[in-house]
Amino acid sequence: MNAGKETAANFTASAKAGMVKTKATIDEKVELMTAKDPAQKEAATIKKDVRITQANIEEKAAHARNAATKVAGNVASALPGHDAGH
């Protein structure tokens, strides 16, 4: 994977994580407005925090996979008989 593809893949992972975080925040706001019990409101906030944390973990994992793919591609292209698509 060349640097441009890695950057694009990382951008996509970050955009996806951003959408998940935004949706989690909006869902929490809706639940806070409709909940009458303080325990329900607390549960909505915890649920949002868990979803945001999970999105951050998935984003970091995607960035690590993209970097590993780039390194693996560089190693393969350095082997004799591999022209890296040239």
pLDDT, tens digit (0-9, with 9 covering 90-100), for 6-25: 899 999 999 999 999 999 99
pLDDT band, residue 1 (cuts 50/70/90)? low
DSSP-assigned letter for residue 81: T
Average pLDDT of 59-79?
79
Tell me the whole-structure pTM to 2 decimals. 0.77
Strand, helix or coil for residue 28: helix
Q: Do residues 6 and 66 lie in contact, with contact meaning Cβ atoms separated by under 8 Å?
A: yes
pLDDT band, residue 56 (cuts 50/70/90)? very high
76/34: higher pLDDT: 34
Spell out a b/e string for 22-47, using b for 16 or more CB atoms within 10 Å of the CB, else e.
eebeeebeebeeeeeeeeebeebeee
Q: Which of 48, 15, 16, 14 is nearest to 31 (CA)?
A: 48
